[in-house]
Structure 1
Amino acid sequence: MERHRQAVRLVSATVRSLFERSEPYRIWHGSTNSTRPPHQKAGVRVVDISGLRDVLSVDAATRTALVEPNVPMDRLVESTLPHGLVPPVVMEFPGITAGGGFAGTAGESSSFRHGYFDETVRSVEMVLPDGEVVTARPDKGDEYEDLFRGAAGALGTLGTTTLLELKLIEAKKFVRTTYRRTSSVEEAVRVIREECAAERGNDYVDGILFSKDHGVIVSGKMTDDLPSEDERVQTFSHPWDPWFYMHVRDITKTLPSSASASASASSSSSSSEGTVTEYIPLSEYLFRYDRGGFWVGQAAFDYFKPVPFNRFFRWFLDDFMHTRMLYRALHGSGESARFIVQDIGLPYESAEPFINYVSDELAIWPLWLCPLKTPSRPSFHPHLRDGGKGKKDKASHGEMLNIGVWGWGPEDRNLFIRANRALERRVDELGGTKWLYAHTYYPRSEFWRVYGSAQQKQYEALRHKYLATSLPDVYDKVSVKVDNDDAVTRGWKPWLKSLWPVGGLWGIWKGIQSKDYMLHRHATWKWTGEGDEAKTGKTKSA
């Protein structure tokens, strides 16, 4: 803990010195899972907090963990599982950090129960823009309650997080996973709501739409028991394992929809009822989308077209197919400038028209479905709005559906921007909001109308109260800088990287330089079979 205090004192002194000289600065975390292009101004000072990356303690009695902001999800899980505990919300990409989950938006397949990641945080230590170090809690009556709630999702624009106290829940050895086949968008949306009902007892729920007539809703329940000694345990972390989404597609493509099957009284087996069930070790389930980055990894094969997308090459190139390396390559190559990566939060009734829009206008498949419990207060997180365009922006508590739209956009830069703007307008019409980790093209006035005048008023009041007006605001951090709606300032480097295969090769080189592939090679959360019960603090029953 003393090392942590010394590091925070150094950060505090550096920030205070820059504040007193009115010098702008940016925080360097060491990695990012955002797809936004950087627009750092020349000469801006950097405050390096990349060394704050340790789990300081795990307390089994209070079910809490003290973690520094740059602790990634895989290291966090590796630290809590030996105590028989796990965070309630674990981001599906191992490299996403606890600090990123708090300062950004992190809603995952357990968020229909637990809400966004920041809802599982008990307190945060922050360095304010003038260098003062404070601890903020969400408890009513806490001196910095407004800071805690305002900083969640505000992208570090109110201060710098240096420590988090996280809630933990009991971990179990496996996730009993059920794949429920659907045959229409309407059915998929209905079924995912059904699986979120409390009486279902699910710990995790999400879904994949491969097409309008092939969807799969994935539900999971934590358990310590296999039904029999011969039950197969499915893993997804090893080089020869299947990619999760392909596995789900392949084992469900011949099934009838669960709705039509349940209407038939003649079927008795689980597969004939439109469902398949298997057992996945907990950590393998939590990071099941890592290899292939959901399905975005296939885009790398699309780019390097001579390389076939088959099982051999997925095995041979496995080091490059994990999300950390994919992000390195995406940023290094410049291909994020023409790859649509958007997550949209929508009321359930708007999901089907939005999916139809994506299918008709962008032809992007698969799509990810993730049910969310939304905050009752104004927030930068996706939240329910009262109606669509032009109506009141009052935030309300309730259920909504996240839809992940990830795929190639138009090659022409102007057309790419237009496609993103058109998507933003359609989301607005349907009463939805975007996650802010990705490309955002709203004009400033439209951004604040969409995210709410109440949110803007509270946020700006907090920026003045905590002396943060010298820092970029949220809009400054998320908006893609373009000259106008049809152009973008470009130099010779983006032009060179736009030439095939220069950008892709450069992205690969940047990934190799990072050595991020070593992190997965040496991960201890991966299931190896014998002896793995120790990872959850469990012992085998007789």
Structure 2
Amino acid sequence: MARLKASYDAIPAGAPVRLAKKTTNLFRPRAATTAPGLDVSGLTGVIEVDPTARTADVQGMCTYEDLVDATLPHGLIPYVVPQLRTITLGGAVTGLGIESTSFRNGLPHESVIEMDVFTGAGAVVTTRPGPQGQHSDLFETFPNSYGSLGYATRLRIKLEKVPSFVSLRHVRFDDAGLLAKTITQITETKEYDGVRVDGLDGVAFAPGELYLTLATWTDEATQEPSDYTGQQIFYRSIQQRETDLLTIYDYLWRWDTDWFWCSGAFGAQHPTLRRLWPRRYRRSDVYMRMLGLDRRFDIADRLDRRAGRPLRERVVQDIEVPVENLPAFLEWFDAEVGMRPVWLCPLMAKQAWRSYPLQPGEVYVNLGFWGTVHVGPEAVNGPKNRAIEARVHELGGHKSLYSEAFYDRQTFDELYNGANLAAVKRTYDPQHRLTSLYDKAVKKR
């Protein structure tokens, strides 16, 4: 904490305040700066796990990979473990992480009991939820603020008990409407065909080919657990088998090995190359660094120009729509964007949160789609991304801000409660040392 404060004091007035971090899970570009960053190198660990209270005190820059390594020996995991190993706890809380337990546990910030925040004023404040909670205005505005109000340095979170294995059922649907109704029923009853459901997500591979993956925690190993860190690839197994068994550890990171399905862009799914690709390098942060090289040297764009292909628009987004509007969005997305597969992750917020106004108790479905579309010269203006934003708004949804956004200021403030953000920022960052959320998400400062 002393190094963090010293690094803050060393940043010149007027220079952007940013984290000095080597890894990132953000997909939006930002302006270059030569100013030093905040030294958070000492805030990457787990302070304490309390197996009796089922809580953990964790530093803000601790990755979920390290957090799970500390909790799982006690038979415990966080309420929500985002899909990628290097997502940090503080990042998931300020940036809205999500995973298959979100249909019953909400988003990561909803299991936070207490949080220390290093604010734009250079002070550390302890925040707690509830009407009588300390600095509750900051606590309730922090989710979806992306460092515009401060950075979490310590969080106390709830943990849940888990067994050793996860039993999976991959249920196919030909109709998106029936899939949406099934999601609603599972969210209400927490079961399917009389069997308990502990984790729920899905994949839309093509129109008429959609799957829900139903996960049930279990101590019974009815078969040899599958291994998708080797030659086999998890997302392909969804189409190939109706049931499966994973260790709880492998279930948590089932999407990380191939960055969902995006590792194919680097050849990591080619059988021959996969045999030569060391397992320790089959992980999302490695692919992210490779993507960074592509951006830096414009490799894909150069290859497209050489082959005479139209310019690509990068369409990397996670959006949420009310479950009843899922079929309408998928139909529109197929016609206007045409990108598949699409990840489906149901969620339900437990209470209202000021910066991301999901309706408490209403079922939403997060749709994740990550890739590029050949659109030609207009790609630089983001026509597909702008169309997605408009359609999501029409369907009563929102989109996450970890990637590019194109909203005008008025629309952005309406969607993300800009008035409240500004009021809280005046309290905790009166000199505006931290970049505003709009400038971060849209202006890329």
TM-score (norm: length of structure 1): 0.74
For residues 378-457 of structure 1, what are the structure 2 equivalents within 5 Å? Answer: 378-381=353-356, 383-384=358-359, 397-410=361-374, 412=376, 414-415=378-379, 417-451=382-416, 455-457=417-419
Specify the alignment match of 1:31 in structure 2: 23
Deviations 1:50-99 (A, max 9, x none): 33111121111111111112211111111111112111100111111111
Query: CA, structure 1 residues 23+421, in 2 after alignment: closer, same or farther (shift >3 Å)?
Result: closer
2:2 aligned with 1:12: no
Contact 2:313/2:384, CA 8 A, preserved across alignment = no
1:413, CA displacement in angstroms? 5.3
Asked if 1:329 is matched to 2:329, the reply is no
2:197 maps to which residue? 202
Q: Which amino acid aligns with 2:236?
A: M
Match of 2:317 among 318, 342, 347: 342
Amino acid at match of 1:232: E
Does structure 1 conserve the Cα–Cα contact (< 8 Å) formed by 2:263 and 2:287?
yes
What is the number of residues matched between the two proteins?
424
Q: Which sections of structure 1, spanning at least 5 residues, go unmatched? A: 1-7, 252-275, 302-306, 385-395, 483-542
Q: Deviations over 1:468-516 (max 9, x none)?
A: 533211111111559xxxxxxxxxxxxxxxxxxxxxxxxxxxxxxxxxx
Q: Per-residue deviation at 1:204?
A: 0.4
2: CA distance between counterparts of 1:128 and 1:362? 40
Contact 2:168–2:215 under 8 Å retained in 1:
yes
1:377 is matched with 352
Match of 2:265 in 1: 299
- Unaligned segments of structure 2, at least 5 residues: 302-311
CA pair 131-199 structure 1, distance change in 2 beyond 3 A: closer
Query: CA 1:474/1:397 → structure 2, altered by over 3 Å: closer, same or farther?
Result: farther
- Please state whether the residue corresponding to 1:349 is helix, strand or coil: helix
CA distance in 2, matches of 1:479, 1:421: 12
Alignment of 1:220-259 (within 5 A): 220-227=215-222, 231-237=223-229, 239-240=230-231, 242-251=232-241
Give the Å deviation of 1:22: 5.3
User: What does residue 471 of structure 1 align with?
Assistant: 434
Distance, in Å, in 1 between the alignment partners of 2:408 and 2:350 is 25
Judge conservation of contact 2:17–2:435 (CA < 8 Å) in 1.
no
Paired amino acid for 1:130: A
- What aligned pairs does 1:18-417 form with structure 2 within 5 A after superposition? 18=11, 21=13, 23-40=15-32, 42-200=33-191, 201-227=196-222, 231-237=223-229, 239-240=230-231, 242-251=232-241, 276-301=242-267, 310-319=270-279, 320-334=281-295, 338-374=313-349, 376-381=351-356, 383-384=358-359, 397-410=361-374, 412=376, 414-415=378-379, 417=382
Seen in structure 2, the aligned counterparts of structure 1 residues 14 and 162 have a Cα distance that, compared at 3 Å, is same
**C-alpha contact (below 8 Å) 1:344/1:433 kept by paired residues:** yes
Q: Distance in 2 between matches of 1:244 and 1:377?
A: 35
Residue aligned with 1:122, SS:
strand
Secondary structure of the residue aligned to 2:262 is coil
Question: Larger Rg: 1 or 2?
Answer: 1
Deviation at 1:244, TM superposition (A): 0.9
| Counterpart code for 2:258 | G
Letter in 1 for 2:321: L
Structure 1 pair 284–323 and aligned structure 2 pair: CA distance change class (3 A) = same
Q: 1:315 to 1:358 in 2, by over 3 A?
A: farther
Shift of 1:210: 0.8
Residue 115 (structure 1) shift: 0.6
Q: Secondary structure in 2 aligned to 1:370?
A: strand
Give the match's secondary structure for 1:30. coil
Offset of residue 43 of structure 1 = 4.0
In 1, Cα distance between equivalents of 2:319 and 2:262: 17
Letter in 1 for 2:438: Y
2:226 alignment partner, SS class: coil
Structure 2 residue identity aligned to 1:418: P
Q: Residues 101, 377 of structure 1: CA spacing in aligned structure 2 closer, same or farther, 3 A cutoff? A: same
CA RMSD of aligned residues (A): 2.2
By how many angstroms is 1:192 displaced? Answer: 2.4
Tell me how far apart the structure 1 counterparts of residues 111 and 51 of structure 2 sit (CA, whole Å). Answer: 16
> Matches of 1:298 and 1:195 in 2, distance apart?
32
* 8 Å CA contact 1:344, 1:382 repeated in 2: no
Identity %: 29
Taking the aligned partners of 1:79 and 1:97, their CA distance within structure 2 comes to: 14
- Which 4+ residue blocks in structure 1 deviate beyond 3 angstroms? 16-19, 21-24, 42-45, 318-321, 335-338, 378-382
How far residue 463 of structure 1 moved from its aligned partner, in angstroms, is 0.5
* 2:423 matches 1:461: yes
Task: Confirm or deny: 8 A CA contact 1:382 1:435 kept in the other structure.
Answer: no
Superposed CA deviations along residues 146-198 of structure 1, whole A, max 9, x for unmatched, are 11111122111111211111211112101111111111222222222233233
Which amino acid is the alignment partner of residue 283 of structure 2? H
TM-score under structure 2 normalisation? 0.89
The change in CA–CA distance for 1:311 and 1:18 in structure 2 (over 3 A counts) is closer
